[in-house]
Amino acid sequence: VALKVLKPALIADESAFQRFVREAQTVASLFHPHIATVLDMGESKEGRYFIAMRYIDGESLDKVIAAGALKWDVALKITEQIASALEFAHGRGLIHRDVKPSNIIVGKEEGAVLTDFGLVKAMQQSGSMSLTGGMLGTPYYIPPEIWLGKEATPAADLYELACVLAEMLTGKVLFPGDTSPAVMTRHVMIGP
């Protein structure tokens, strides 16, 4: 198994803890070959909360990309596998909200597997689940509508996946920037 442990400082933050619990409960219901399934959740004797997930023997896509741009057929296969995982999750009313290379493990046997549903939000829920009351996600992949304060939809995940595909093919993030506002401007003003 692979363990995800909640940082002790976040346990005092009720919203962070509730998000951690939601992640475990949500992903435990997602049985798909390209989603890292949650097997258990608990608390250690030391008071550390953890999620035990299916272990994927491979490396994160960001490390794969760091070694160089991927060939079209490899990038397409990874994209298809993650799109399949997203379609499955969307069919169950869930949005990932943070599709990025470090949340994709390229397994030797499994192919591409989507991990870290920590930002998952049930489509029927409303309100933000961020620690600061701000938006959730990683700036390089956040779609324009989220930057503009609109609710996430399955299209947001697909936009993020398209950004990942561009990065796989070029070896660089689609819209670079030194600050979140600079990245936001590129997504909103230049982006598709």
Q: 98 an active-site residue?
A: yes
Q: What is the dihedral of CA 17, 19, 23, 25, to 10 degrees?
A: 70
- Token duo for residue 165: 């595909």
Nearest-angstrom CA–CA distance, 178 and 72: 28
94 pairs with which residues across the strands? 122
Marked catalytic residue, from 13, 98, 116, 157: 98
Which residue, 64, 69, 82, 59, is CA-closest to 172? Answer: 69
Maximal C-alpha separation, the chain: 51
β 94-95/121-122 pair status: antiparallel
Nearest-angstrom CA–CA distance, 116 and 120: 9
Q: Do 69 and 170 contact (CB within 8 A), yes or no?
A: yes
38 pairs with which residues across the strands? 53
Kindly list the catalytic residues. 98
